[in-house]
Amino acid sequence: MDKIFLNELAFYGYHGVYGEEQKLGQRFIVDLVLFVDLTQAGKTDDLNQTINYGEVYQQVKQIVEGPPFKLVEAVAEKIADELLKTFPLLESCTVKVIKPDPPIVGHYKSVAVEITRARS
């Protein structure tokens, strides 16, 4: 299956279990893999035969910078659900939501969840 990658989309959102996370906010990074047949797009050079990356970015931005969720799992699920609803050519997607600075004591680069969802 052909893939479109959108890597390291950066946003500022207010998701988290703790009150200070929803009050102060924090950075979120999103990686996407969109599974779509790109044959016709490659043959016709027609944007209508693929998925518009700019539209995907704006949709993800609205979710991550929109109303808060407690869990990044819920953020990832919302992104996958909305992308599958919006883009009829999209067969499935992998969504990774990364919290670079969660309120956890210790040494680490980040925490993240990754889900894959397909059209039903």
Q: Which residues are catalytic?
A: 99
Q: Cα–Cα distances in Å, from 14 out to 30, 66, 100?
A: 15, 8, 13
Distance in angstroms (rounded) separating the CA atoms of residues 108 and 64: 22
Q: Which residues pair with 10 in a beta bridge?
A: 29
